[in-house]
Amino acid sequence: MKKPYQLAVDGITPSLNRFYHRAFTKVTVDRSGYDPESIRDSMVMAVSTHRSQADYFLIGWVLYDNGVKYVRIAAGDNLTGFPIIGKRFRAYGAFPVRRDMAFRRGYVRQLCLDVVEMMEDNEPILLFAEGGRSYGGNLMEMKGGILLSAILAQARNPGKNVFLLPSAISYEFLPELPFFEMLRKGKEMRKKSNNVLARLAGTLYYFGADIIAFSRFILRTRLGLKQGEVFVDFGSPVCVKDIVDVKAHYNASARDEMSGHQSSMRIVGAHLYAALRSLYRLLPEHVVAAVLKENPALTRQSAIGPVRALLSRLGEQKRNTKTLDALSPEQVLATGLRQLRHVKAIAERGGRVEIRKQSIVDYYAAALAE
C-alpha cells in the first residue's frame, strides 16, 4: 500500500512534466553512466549539485522517470517552513533540515538516524550535499551531515548495498541568478550577531529575492517565455562499501558513532566531490565568462584565440564538455556571448565586449576555476 506522500507524488508528477517542458526550451537528461536496474532493491541516496530552488522538484521529477521513485528530499527549513508552499512540499516527501542546528551534535545525530530509518524502509533520499545553493557558481565542499547517513546505513547493514547516485544540474539561464546579490545581502543581515531590525530586514531581502525570482519564472512560463535549456547528467551509482571499508576505518575510541565514521566520511565526500565536478555540464557561457574575467577588454575577434586555448585545456581534464564538443570554437564564442547578453551580463558595441554585471560573469566563470 502506498504512503500518503507517494500518492501525492503520483498526483503531481504529470503536472511537473507539463510545467518543465513549458518552462525550459529543452530538458536534456543524460544517464549514459546509469542503469536503473543496477540499484533495484537497494538502499539509495541520490546526491546532486545545487544551483536553484527549482532543483528540488526538477531532480525529483527526473528521478521518478528514471527508476528512483518517491524520493524523500532533504530541504532547508527556510523552504519547508515557508507559508503554504512549505506545507505542500512536505506533503510530497520533503523533510526539514534546520540549518541553525547544524552545529548541534544531538540534532544532527537524530536527523541522520531518521534518514537511516527512511533508507531501511526502502525510501530513497535526495540530498544536496553542498548544504545549500552555490551563490558563487562553484561546486562547494561536501557537508558531512546527512551524507553520513549513507555510511551509517552501510555500517549497520553490511550485507546490503547502499548506493550513492550522483547527478548534476546545469541551467542555461538560472531563474534566481539576477537576484543572488539580494540573497547574499539578506543572508549576511540575518546573522545572529546583527540586531533585531537588521535581521528582520535581512529576512525580507532573503525570502523576497526568491519570491520575486520565482514569481517572475512562473509568470514567464505562463506567458510562453522559455528559460533556456537545462541539463541533468547522471553518473554511475557506486556502493558505499566499494568506496570505503567502513568497518576498517571506524574509530572505536571516538566519543560516538558519528565521530567514529569521520574517516569514512572524508573519503566518501572526496569521492562525491570529484564525481559531481566531472558531471557538471560546462556550457559556452562558462567558457566565455572565464575568458572575459581574465581579460575584460577583449573584442569578439580577439577572444577566439583564448576561447580555443581554454577548450583545449578542458579537453585534457575530466570535465563534462559534451555540449562544447558539439561546437566549433567560433560557435562556442558566439553562443556564449549570446547567453551572457541574455542575462544582461555583457553588452557589445563596435565589436568590443563590455561587462555590465561582473557578479554574473564571475558566477559563470567560477564553474571552470575549481
Query: Are 13 and 92 a contacting pair, CB within 8 Å?
Result: no
Task: Give mean pLDDT, residues 56-85.
Answer: 84
Residues of the chain with CATH 3.40.1130: 4-175+227-279
The chain-wide mean pLDDT, for the chain, equals: 91
The 10s digit of each residue's pLDDT in 252-268 is 998 888 889 999 999 99
Query: Are 341 and 284 a contacting pair, CB within 8 Å?
Result: no
Closest CA to 103 of 145, 142, 72: 145
The residue written with cell numbers 541568478 in the block is: 177
Q: What percent of the chain has pLDDT over 70?
A: 98
Residue 230, strand partner residues? 27, 171
Helix ranges, the chain (H) = 4-23, 55-64, 77-80, 85-91, 105-120, 147-156, 180-189, 196-222, 240-243, 257-260, 262-279, 284-294, 300-315, 322-325, 329-342, 358-365
The 10s digit of each residue's pLDDT in 308-326 is 999 999 988 889 999 999 9
CA torsion through residues 110, 112, 115, 117, sign: negative
What is the DSSP annotation of 65-104? TTT--SPEEEEEHHHHTSTTHHHHHHHTTEEEE-GGGTT-
Is the pLDDT confidence value at 133 over 90?
Answer: no
Q: How far is CA 74 from the centre of its chain?
A: 12
Tell the burial category of 38 from Cβ atoms under 10 Å away from its Cβ (0-12, 13-18, 19+).
middle
Of 92-101, 241-250, 309-318, the poorest mean pLDDT is in 92-101
Is the pLDDT confidence value at 76 over 80?
Answer: no
The whole-number pLDDT of residue 131 equals 84
Residue 47 three-state SS: strand
Of 2-11, 180-189, 234-243, the poorest mean pLDDT is in 180-189
Task: Give mean pLDDT, residues 271-298.
Answer: 95
- Band (pLDDT 50/70/90 cuts) for residue 78 is low
The whole-number pLDDT of residue 269 equals 95
Is the pLDDT confidence value at 47 over 70?
Answer: yes
Task: Give mean pLDDT, residues 130-159.
Answer: 90
Query: Are 196 and 309 a contacting pair, CB within 8 Å?
Result: no
The whole-number pLDDT of residue 32 equals 87
Task: Give mean pLDDT, residues 274-289.
Answer: 96
Q: What is the CATH number of domain 284-365?
A: 1.10.10
Q: What percent of the chain has pLDDT over 90?
A: 60
Task: Give mean pLDDT, residues 233-240.
Answer: 96
- Band (pLDDT 50/70/90 cuts) for residue 350 is confident
Read off φ and ψ for residue 315, nearest 5 degrees. -65, -20
The 10s digit of each residue's pLDDT in 196-209 is 898 889 888 888 88
Residues of the chain with CATH 1.10.10: 284-365
Is the pLDDT confidence value at 275 over 80?
Answer: yes
The whole-number pLDDT of residue 82 equals 67
The whole-number pLDDT of residue 28 equals 95
- Band (pLDDT 50/70/90 cuts) for residue 27 is very high
- Band (pLDDT 50/70/90 cuts) for residue 83 is low
The whole-number pLDDT of residue 48 equals 96
Task: Please give the C-alpha separations between residue 250 and each of 142, 257, 258, 262, in angstroms, as whole numbers.
Answer: 20, 9, 10, 8
Is the pLDDT confidence value at 103 over 80?
Answer: no
The whole-number pLDDT of residue 105 equals 79
Query: How many other CB atoms are there within 10 angstroms of residue 83's CB atom?
Result: 7
| CATH class, 4-175+227-279 region | alpha beta
The whole-number pLDDT of residue 332 equals 97
Query: How many other CB atoms are there within 10 angstroms of residue 308's CB atom?
Result: 15
The whole-number pLDDT of residue 369 equals 77
pTM of the model: 0.91
